[in-house]
Amino acid sequence: MSESKKSGLLLLGVGGGACRLIRETRKAFGETMRTLCVDTDSATDLPAEEGASPLPFLLLGGSRLAGHGAGGDFNEGRQAARDDWENILNRTQDTRTVMVVSCLGGGTGSGATSEIVKKLHENGLTTFCLLVKPFSFEGSPRIETAERAVSLIEENADSLLVIDQDTLFSATDETLLADAQAAASEQLVAALTLFWRMLFSPGFIRLDAERLHSLVIRGGKTCLGVASASGADRADAVVQRLVACKLFRNGEKLKTCNALLVGILAGEDLRLAEIGRIMEALDGLRKAGSRVEMGTVQDAAFDGKIELVVMGFSYVTDVKAPPVFDASQIQILTKSTGGKSRANKGSGLNFGPIGKGRFQKTEATVFNGCDYDEPTYMRRGITLER
Amino acid sequence: MSKSLIVAGLEIGTSRTVLCAGEQGEQGKVNIIGTGTYPTTGVRKGQIVDMEQVQVCIKRAVEQLEESTNINVWHVLVAVSGGHIHSKVNPGVLSIGDADITQEDVQDVTELANNVKIEDGRVLLHTIRQSFKVDDQPGIIRPVGMRCKVLQLDILAIDALQNRLDNMMNAVHKCQLEVSDTVFGGICAAIATLTPQQKSNGVVMIDLGGGTTNYVAFRENVIAAAGSIALGGDHVTNDIALAFKIAHNHAEEIKRSEGSALVDQESNGERVNLPVDKGFAPRSISRKSLHTVINARMDELFRLLRDILGEQDVLPNLGGGVVLCGGGAYLKKVKDLAQNVFGIPCTIATLQNVTGVEGLEQPASFATAVGLVQYGLRNEADKGKKGIMEMVKGWFKK
């Protein structure tokens, strides 16, 4: 049994772009990584490389699309996921947290992902979605499809990390298209690999699946930064590069996060003082009172180098006390989980008593397991200002 | 004395009961001769929960119409809405054996398609012809003369729970009115609001009622999808009441006067004064919070509709955009929100092919009742006879 299976983690790639990322991540991490790739295009199911075992693959909507792909059609992607949902479910046995990776804009990435996340949610699985939005030059139909998918996925995902490829490379950047895509892919693979290594590879400090689960379940919107450095001042340099990372908007994003997941990958030459310097530098950048979970991974192949990945979660940490009644200052306090539905979620936060007001004794209006008679702002975890 | 066929349509809405009477006017238009309205009590989400209160509402609406028009109402068409209304496409398939399609074949396949199986306790409201499929070629309107092996006709069947209809009929009967027909409210609103051009281009009509939201989508002049969900403006009001711990009537009042479906980021710090009951201290709430509560609910409603329409493969064919009607259509910025969610142009409905509605306040909120009248008159014209709905103007003057 793979370690990730024991921990109940699964890395799921949806669509051709995501499957390529998963393939690269698995190559970098090793075959003990528990993965599943799903796509409507049978061409994604590439033969295994020499000496490697094949990447677990599931064709979606085979009877509908004959393995030719969704043709950019959102609904085809969604229907295909519905057709094969039972097969996906069978592959998620012993799974508690699913990290869903998807490149949006196409039919499968957008349509199938939104459907799969919804179904995973309905089946009580915790989902951490890493979504990659297309470059703006790819055209408005792809952007609109991606936007639509994000809004649907957001409703059911426990944690959501949306990476806009435009934020990696500006429009005036002279980077070649192929280089830009390769670099974007490289960063994502690095982040995924390090993330997995932190969970399953021995290190000075290990991030266990339980701690990850507790972050993801409360996650909300998430941001990500990756940087690496070598040399004598590598600890300081890696933080500087991380702050400069476009995904982190020059460090501004760090100040908005209520929890940080910090991963440090280095060789066996990693010193305690270097970990201290990195964490001290991050302390000065993060929001006061935010939670920090840190893990290190040591691998001789990384001697002389430090790779740093930081994931920021924007969930609301505190639950405010019930309001004191003041005739002129009515305040509405609810727990927030970052704007998503929690219906049918055993592991979700308790919002406290949810009143249905005048619909208390009527036949409930239920769609997809969600009671729509409960106020939307409560179900979405929206905190209202005074 | 000239006789004129007058049809009356009754909509027992969750927030308002509307009775509308009309006759065939000039140039094919329907002339609305009067309306009677009364705030509804005893209905939740389109379903009767208090029979006596509902009867009072119907009687008051009838009285108002009769007083303003000098007619007596004996028969009414009744609009039906609510989450219990379902629709499905029922295909009829006929094997012809490589021959030219005849009119008899069309009749046979229509009969097959109309043979809709529905669950016990449900009753069929409408069967609406969609299009023919000739072998593997879909979207055929007139197949007679075409050569094929298998002819298929898709019918959109709309059904409802029998007991919910019975309750409504009983309430109407107890007001000494005969029910000449029951019609799905969404179809009525579509008749009243959509132009032939919109139906041809593909359009979705969304009737934002108090307790229910009806929708009807057209694709190439054919009803492609229709349904009703038990969510409406009452949910918005309920959310406001719970969010700010205020009475339902006060919540309704500020929703109408200060509500907006979009949150204005510049409204930070602005306050909305709440209605004050005698003896209570004045209170105010954040305008931004009010709009946030409304936006969350309306955004969710439109997204749900978008999902439902997406599942029925309607979304890619809406060149005519989204048409909003019902009382909810007059919520500030609701059109903009719908446009954002659906990503296509959206408009507030205007009543089509009618006269006599110029004086109506918020005319799109009368769409269902006006459409009922249009439906009734059209049906009578189709029958070519004057049925039980016939009333003679002037004969029953008070």
Same structural domain for residues A132 and A265? Answer: no
Which member of B283, B300, B311 has the closest CB to residue A376? Answer: B300
Question: By a Cβ cutoff of 8 Å, what residues of chain B touch chain A?
Answer: 44-45, 47, 49, 83, 229-231, 234-235, 238-239, 241-245, 248, 280-286, 288-289, 292-293, 296-297, 299-300, 303-304, 307, 310-311, 313, 315-316, 343
- pLDDT for A322: 32
Mean pLDDT of B237-263: 93
Is B60 within the bounds of a domain?
no
Same structural domain for residues B203 and B342? Answer: yes
Last residue of a domain, one of B147, B162, B177: B162
Whether residues B234 and A358 touch (CB distance < 8 A) is answered with yes
A236 contacts: CB under 8 Å, gap ≥ 6: A277, A281
- Of A211, A218, A180, nearest to A315 by C-alpha is A218
Judging by beta carbons within 10 Å of its beta carbon (0-12, 13-18, 19+), is residue B157 exposed, middle or buried?
A: buried
Same structural domain for residues A42 and A138? Answer: yes
Q: How many CA atoms lie within 13 A of A127 on its CB side?
A: 32
A327 touches chain B (CB under 8 A): yes
Same structural domain for residues B209 and B337? Answer: yes
Confidence of residue A246 (pLDDT cuts 50, 70, 90): low
A383 touches chain B (CB under 8 A): no
- pLDDT for A347: 30
Least confident of B33-37, B66-70, B89-93: B66-70
Whether residues A385 and B235 touch (CB distance < 8 A) is answered with no
Least confident of A97-106, B164-173, B175-184, B275-284: B275-284
E strands present in chain B: 6-12, 16-24, 30-39, 43-44, 47-48, 75-80, 86-100, 122-134, 137-140, 147-161, 178-184, 203-208, 213-219, 222-229, 271-273, 284-286, 322-325, 346-348, 354-355
Name the CA dihedral angle for A209, A210, A211, A216, rounded to a multiple of 10 degrees. Answer: 80
> How confident is the model over B291-343, as pLDDT tens digits?
999 999 999 999 999 999 998 888 888 999 999 999 999 999 999 999 999 99
The answer on pLDDT for B1 being more than 60 is: no
> Do the Cβ atoms of A185 and A21 come closer than 8 Å?
yes
Chain A residues close to B45, C-beta within 8 Å: 359, 362-363, 365
> How confident is the model over B151-174, as pLDDT tens digits?
999 999 999 999 999 999 999 998
Is A319 within the bounds of a domain?
no
- pLDDT for A247: 67
Stretch (H or E) spanning A376: helix A376-379
Whether residues A367 and B304 touch (CB distance < 8 A) is answered with yes
Last residue of a domain, one of A282, A313, A344: A313
- The span from the CA of B260 to the CA of A198, in Å, is 47
> Mean of the per-residue pLDDT values for chain B?
90
Mean pLDDT of B91-100: 92
Same structural domain for residues A132 and A80? Answer: yes
Greater confidence (A297 vs B14) lies with: B14
> Do the Cβ atoms of B82 and B136 come closer than 8 Å?
no
- Of A304, A298, A282, A302, nearest to A234 by C-alpha is A304
Question: β-pairing, B346-348 with B322-325?
Answer: parallel
Same structural domain for residues A307 and A365? Answer: no
- The span from the CA of B247 to the CA of A166, in Å, is 48
Which member of B244, B299, B316 has the closest CB to residue A332? Answer: B244
- The span from the CA of B292 to the CA of A384, in Å, is 8
- The span from the CA of A84 to the CA of A62, in Å, is 9
Backbone φ and ψ for B216, nearest 5 degrees, come out as -140, 125
Same structural domain for residues B199 and B248? Answer: yes
Which member of A355, A362, A372 has the closest CB to residue B44? Answer: A362
- The span from the CA of B307 to the CA of B205, in Å, is 15
How close does chain A come to B256, measured CA to CA in Å?
Answer: 18
Last residue of a domain, one of A261, A282, A313: A313
The answer on pLDDT for A240 being more than 60 is: yes
Confidence of residue A332 (pLDDT cuts 50, 70, 90): very low
Judged by DSSP in three states, B95 sits in: strand
Confidence of residue A354 (pLDDT cuts 50, 70, 90): very low
Is B273 within the bounds of a domain?
yes
Residue B179 pairs in a beta bridge with B76
How close does chain B come to A165, measured CA to CA in Å?
Answer: 23
Interface contacts (A, B; CB < 8 Å): 98
> How confident is the model over A122-149, as pLDDT tens digits?
888 888 888 888 887 788 778 878 877 8
Is B45 within the bounds of a domain?
no
- The span from the CA of A371 to the CA of B163, in Å, is 23
Confidence of residue A29 (pLDDT cuts 50, 70, 90): confident
- The span from the CA of B341 to the CA of A134, in Å, is 20
- Which amino acid appears at position B47 of this protein? Q
Whether residues A327 and B281 touch (CB distance < 8 A) is answered with yes
Number of domains in chain B: 2
Interface test with chain A among B249, B293, B311, by most A beta carbons within 10 Å: B293
Chain B residues close to A327, C-beta within 8 Å: 280-283
Whether residues A358 and B239 touch (CB distance < 8 A) is answered with no
Q: Residue A234 is part of a domain; what is its CATH number?
A: 3.30.1330.20
- pLDDT for B390: 40
Whether residues B238 and A375 touch (CB distance < 8 A) is answered with yes
> Do the Cβ atoms of A215 and A338 come closer than 8 Å?
no
Same structural domain for residues A26 and A166? Answer: yes
- pLDDT for A211: 67
Mean pLDDT of A16-28: 88
> How confident is the model over B332-378, as pLDDT tens digits?
999 999 999 999 999 999 999 999 999 899 999 999 999 999 999 99
- The span from the CA of B275 to the CA of B253, in Å, is 8
- pLDDT for A167: 65
CA angle B327, B198, B187 (to 5 degrees): 50
- The span from the CA of B1 to the CA of A374, in Å, is 57
Give the domain range for residue A252.
229-313
Q: Which residue of A has its CA nearest to B312?
A: A75
The answer on pLDDT for B398 being more than 50 is: no
Q: Residue B121 is part of a domain; what is its CATH number?
A: 3.30.1490.110
Is A344 within the bounds of a domain?
yes
Greater confidence (A153 vs B84) lies with: B84
- pLDDT for B384: 59
Residue B48 pairs in a beta bridge with B43
- The span from the CA of B327 to the CA of B208, in Å, is 6
Whether residues B297 and A363 touch (CB distance < 8 A) is answered with no
Same structural domain for residues A308 and A281? Answer: yes
Is A106 within the bounds of a domain?
yes
> Mean of the per-residue pLDDT values for chain A?
76
Which member of A327, A358, A380 has the closest CB to residue B238? Answer: A358
> How confident is the model over B116-125, as pLDDT tens digits?
999 999 999 9
Q: Residue B332 is part of a domain; what is its CATH number?
A: 3.30.420.40
- pLDDT for A58: 93
Interface test with chain B among A331, A377, A379, A380, by most B beta carbons within 10 Å: A377
Whether residues A384 and B297 touch (CB distance < 8 A) is answered with no
Number of domains in chain A: 3
A355 touches chain B (CB under 8 A): yes
A368 contacts: CB under 8 Å, gap ≥ 6: A118, A122, A343
- The span from the CA of B324 to the CA of B338, in Å, is 9
- The span from the CA of B315 to the CA of B303, in Å, is 12
Whether residues A372 and B304 touch (CB distance < 8 A) is answered with yes
Which member of A332, A359, A375 has the closest CB to residue B289? Answer: A332
Least confident of A41-45, A176-180, B114-118: A176-180
Is A193 within the bounds of a domain?
no
**What ipTM does this complex have?**
0.89
- pLDDT for A340: 38
- pLDDT for A214: 66
- The sign of the CA dihedral B240, B241, B246, B250 is positive
Judged by DSSP in three states, A107 sits in: helix
Last residue of a domain, one of A256, A286, A313: A313
> How confident is the model over B207-224, as pLDDT tens digits?
999 999 999 999 989 999
A258 contacts: CB under 8 Å, gap ≥ 6: A287, A290, A291, A313, A314, A315, A316, A317
Tokens of B196: 């032939």
Mean pLDDT of A308-328: 52
- A166-194 in b/e form (b: 16+ CB < 10 A) is bbbbeeeeeeeeeeebeebbebbbbbbbb
Same structural domain for residues A244 and A358? Answer: no
How close does chain A come to B310, measured CA to CA in Å?
Answer: 7
Backbone φ and ψ for A4, nearest 5 degrees, come out as -70, -30
Greater confidence (A382 vs B321) lies with: B321
Whether residues A357 and B248 touch (CB distance < 8 A) is answered with yes
- List strands edge to edge, sheet with B122-134: B86-100, B147-161, B122-134, B137-140
Q: Which residue of A has its CA nearest to B288?
A: A385
Give the domain range for residue B303.
195-348
- The span from the CA of B347 to the CA of B336, in Å, is 9
Q: Give the residue carrying structure tokens 């940087």.
A: A227
- Of A113, A111, A60, A106, nearest to A87 by C-alpha is A60
Judged by DSSP in three states, A386 sits in: coil
Same structural domain for residues A39 and A126? Answer: yes
Same structural domain for residues A375 and A346? Answer: yes
Backbone φ and ψ for A294, nearest 5 degrees, come out as -125, 145
Is B364 within the bounds of a domain?
no
Q: Which residue of B has its CA nearest to A145?
A: B343
Last residue of a domain, one of B331, B348, B365: B348
> Do the Cβ atoms of A161 and A311 come closer than 8 Å?
yes
- pLDDT for A335: 29
- The sign of the CA dihedral B322, B328, B331, B334 is negative
Confidence of residue A217 (pLDDT cuts 50, 70, 90): low
Least confident of A46-50, A139-143, A224-228, B209-213: A46-50
Is A190 within the bounds of a domain?
no
Chain B residues close to A382, C-beta within 8 Å: 292-293, 296
Same structural domain for residues A74 and A143? Answer: yes
Same structural domain for residues B230 and B316? Answer: yes
Same structural domain for residues A348 and A293? Answer: no
Q: Residue A81 is part of a domain; what is its CATH number?
A: 3.40.50.1440
Same structural domain for residues A258 and A357? Answer: no
Chain A residues close to B310, C-beta within 8 Å: 74-75, 78
Is A189 within the bounds of a domain?
no
- CA A355 to the chain's CA centroid: 32
Confidence of residue A337 (pLDDT cuts 50, 70, 90): very low
Count the Cβ atoms, other than its own, within 10 Å of residue B361. 8
Question: β-pairing, B16-24 with B222-229?
Answer: unpaired
